[in-house]
Amino acid sequence: MYAFNGLRILLREEHNARVHVFISICVIVAGFVLEVSINEWLFLILSIGLVLTLEIINSSIENISDFVSPEKHEKIKIIKDLSAAAVLVGAITASVIGLLIFTPKILIYFQ
């Protein structure tokens, strides 16, 4: 129950999380349309899970940082920037995986 409440809070309060969910839905639809293999599904699902998990952790770090130090503080900024960088690295990794899986299928699909 608490975990689902956390997801509800995430989607209600975090714009980037909603963007990630939207992109995830697009990837899932594309996976069905382009008939990705079971192994490709495994990579796509792991990538989606990675990015969403990193977004949840990033949001948690941002919230606790704001609670501990509501005023601007250089160390808090560094902490927040590092957690945002983790999401960025995860999203770039997921994008590369998506490109590797979908690019050949899209090229074949439109021939």
pLDDT, tens digit, for every residue of 1-33?
Answer: 999 999 999 999 999 999 999 999 999 999 999
Average pLDDT, the chain: 96
Which of the four pLDDT bands, split at 50, 70 and 90, describes residue 111? confident
For 26-44, what is the mean pLDDT? Answer: 97
Q: Six-digit token pair at 73?
A: 């503080």
pLDDT, tens digit (0-9, with 9 covering 90-100), for 61-100: 999 999 999 898 899 999 999 999 999 999 999 999 999 9
Check residue 110 and give its pLDDT.
Answer: 84
What's the rounded Cα separation, in Å, for the pair 31 and 105?
Answer: 10
What is the CATH number for 83?
1.10.287.3610
Question: What is d(CA 6, CA 81) in angstroms, rounded to the nearest whole number?
Answer: 22
Range of the domain at 100: 2-109
pLDDT value, residue 92: 98
Give pLDDT tens digits for 73-82: 899 999 999 9
- Domain count along the chain: 1
Q: Which pLDDT does position 4 carry in this prediction?
A: 95
